[in-house]
Structure 1
């Protein structure tokens, strides 16, 4: 009778193959989860930036045009990777957002690089904010109760 204590080389190789397969599956799951988390965080950041931009435009839109210091119209324009808001003549220009690619318009899609808002009229607005091959679109309108 032979002594069968211990393990054979075939059994050892079988255990190594099975362990390797399990490790590859686990690493794949972790990698997919990390990539998904990164994409979600990037999209959420784009959404927050777009909402901040819309809120800053809304705050400017809601200023009382009956006040002599507030003009009836103002404009928002794209300058490279900056989004700027100013009086209609271009004075008092402030940066709303920077570091993204923007497109905007007055309807359902992209339009001019400059959008003029009239505080006395309903103003439809479209904004698309992009970064790292991800984009977030906002379509809204600004209006006041009379």
Structure 2
């Protein structure tokens, strides 16, 4: 079955069943491999993308649920918040193994767009669904605070 999705600003026709997880379309059909597979149950956050700017887990989002909404992956993430986060991630030296980082950045960007000056509690709540096996949580929090200052 063919479906048209808007991915990173571009209308794209994909050949997949309506119940196919968005993650498999992004990685398999679109070759957008920045979005990672982690758990397949929306528990780890590695597969986080934006649907109309909201952070969602693509491993449990069927393409039929996407409809006409805009899908943004790490490859298409743009804007002052995204730029500030990328810079802060580098300055704070957040990345260790890197596997979870695209999901972390997607969640952090959605947070900053909703809440430009988040508190520690706001960050904890927004990032709670993103697991980092390397335990870089203090650096992630510091980078989000730095990005909030920079993007303001």
TM beyond 0.5: no
| Greater helix share, structure number | 2
| Greater strand share, structure number | 1
TM-score range, shorter chain: under 0.3
TM-score scaled by structure 1? Answer: 0.27
Q: Which has the larger radius of gyration?
A: 1
